[in-house]
Every structure is written in structure tokens, then in C-alpha cells.
Amino acid sequence: MTLRVLVPWQRLFDALQIPGIEPILWHINDDPEDAPEAEVLVTERPSNPELRSRVARIKGLRHVHLLSIGYEWVLEHLPQHATLTNSRGAVEDATAEHCLALILASLRELPKALEQQRKQRWERIWTSSLHGSTVLLLGAGGVGSAIAERLAPFKPAQVITVASKARTLDDGTVVHGISDVEQLLPLADIVIVALPHTSRTERLVNAEFLARLRDGALLVNIGRGPIVDTEALLQELDRGQLRAALDVTDPEPLPSGHPLWTAPNCLVTPHMAGDTGEFLKLVSELAIAQVRGIFVGKKPFNIVTDRN
């Protein structure tokens, strides 16, 4: 029996040229036609939300492997009996690295320095710093943990971690429950959003949330765009009350002419946190191992069990 596998990249197609496996090059974003019949789909998250439903139209599909950690987009389109896995373990380091880059670029006013460079103007800029700041980190999963690990060498005054449930981690870190956020917000110089998008987190960062932050605080969203109320954030930015660094936005992709592009003290990157050569290598290795394991009858790893 041949295992038909849809893959989005040539390197995966080449690596799966194995007797008994038939790789089929098909990209959920780029191919004009729906996918041919296949048992396994290896896919990125489609940039256009309207293309997500293409998953549901794949005949014979019994397993989906995502080249990302986030999986919420695919749930409503997943066949009832299909299993779902993600790329946990390949994405966290690149995402955490980009998060730190956003923080440092924003705090140390690098966009302003670049503007001065282009004008050939030598003028010192006094800035804030990660050193000595209080960081409120929303998210204690793989990405949140990787971010916390990278924050430590910069000597913040403290890092306060928040997740859906209060608990103490193996290393002794106290994690606050989401219900504590309201009282913690006034303490924060920097708020990092590294949460998944769920019904509980949608618009968590709303007008009331933002109003509790001290003037000049920096909001960093490395999680999902809909967690932040864009209109509420724009109002705070326009008033000069807050700063923002966003790798994800709502809407996404951010359309030309959207006010976030030109909002004051706002740095935007195009959902590129995981887009590194090392990530590509690691995520490809995971996908190849997953498909080979399925072919020989092994239980898939990184199974997503939360499908409600």
C-alpha cells in the first residue's frame, strides 16, 4: 500500500522519495486547484484565511501535520477521524529570539536611529532598557519558556509569568493565573503576549487592559493577532500612551493603508518570528520523521489533543 503525502516544499518532496511513500507537491496558499486525494497533509498555516477550508476537501485525509505550533486555524476544517500533530520543539527558539529582537529594537529606539542614519544626522538618543525593567510574560508554554530563558541575561528587575492556570514550574517559577492580570498590569514596563488564540484569550488585551498599563509601557505580541483589540491599541498609540512591537496583527495580513503601519511608536514585522534557516531545517526534520513513522505504523508524536 502506498502512503500519499501532500508536502508544500521541494526539500520535503525530495526527502520523502522512499519506496511505499508517494510525496505530492501541493501548497495550500499557492496551488490554484484543490489538493488531490491523500492520506497525509503536511502544511503551513495559510496566509489567506479563506484558504483554510481547503483542508476539509482533501479526500482520504487521515492525518495533518502542521509546520508550526499554532493549530487553532485548522480545527474546524479537520476531518472527524483525522489525527493532528504540530511542530512543537522546532519553532520555540526562533520565535523567542525574534521576541527579544522586537523588545530591544523598540526599547533602544533602533527605528529612530535608522531614520537618523538615512538623514546622515549624528544625534545621541537616550532610551529605556530591558535591564531594570519589569516584564509581564503572558504564556508559560514552549514559546513562553524560551522567552523567559532569553530574558534572564539582560537582568530585568523581574519577570512575572502568567498562564491560564496558576502553578509552580519545576524550576520553582511561580506562574500566576490569568485572573491575576488586572492587578499585575500596573507593575509592568513590558508586556509580552505569547498565548495561543482561543475563545478565552480573544481580545484579552482590550481597552481596559491597556488602560491599566503605565504610560510608556511596551506591548509585544508574538502570539496571535486577535488576542489584541487593534482599535483599542491604536487609540493608546495615537495618544502617545504606549509603545508596541507586533509580529502578529488583526487583521492579518495587515493590508496596505491600515493605520497600524504608521501608528506612532509601533514596530510591525510580518509574522516572521519563525522564519529562519535553522527553523526550516528543524521543522523539515520533524515532518520527515513524522511521515516516516506513520508509514511504518508508529504512533504520531506531538499529537494535538485539545480539539474542542
Rounded Cα–Cα distance for residues 116 and 205 (Å): 33
Q: Which residue, chain included where needed, has cell 519558556?
A: 145
* pLDDT score at 116: 97
What are φ and ψ of residue 274, in 5° steps?
-95, 5
Residues of the chain with CATH 3.40.50.720: 3-90+276-295, 92-268
Topology of domain 92-268, per CATH? Rossmann fold (3.40.50)
Q: Which tens digit of pLDDT belongs to each residue from 156-180?
A: 999 999 998 899 888 888 999 999 9
From CA 162, how far away is CA 184, in angstroms rounded? 9
The yes-or-no verdict on residue 138 having pLDDT over 60 is yes
Q: Report helix angle 277-295 to 92-107, nearest 10.
A: 160
Phi, psi of 301 (to 5 degrees): -100, 165
Active site residues: 271
> What backbone torsions phi and psi does residue 47 show, to the nearest 5 degrees?
-70, -30
Q: In what order do the strands lie in the sheet with 266-268?
A: 167-168, 174-177, 158-163, 134-138, 190-193, 218-221, 243-246, 266-268
Phi-psi region of 53 (alpha: psi -120 to 50; beta: other; left: phi over 0): alpha
CATH number of the domain located at residue range(s) 3-90+276-295 in this protein? 3.40.50.720
Q: In terms of DSSP bridges, do strands 174-177 and 167-168 run parallel, antiparallel, or are they unpaired?
A: antiparallel
With vertex at residue 132, the alpha carbon angle to CA 208 and CA 237, rounded to the nearest 5 degrees, is: 35
200-231 residue pLDDT tens: 899 999 999 999 999 999 999 999 999 999 99
pLDDT tens per residue across span 232-284: 999 999 999 999 999 999 999 999 999 999 999 999 999 999 999 999 999 99
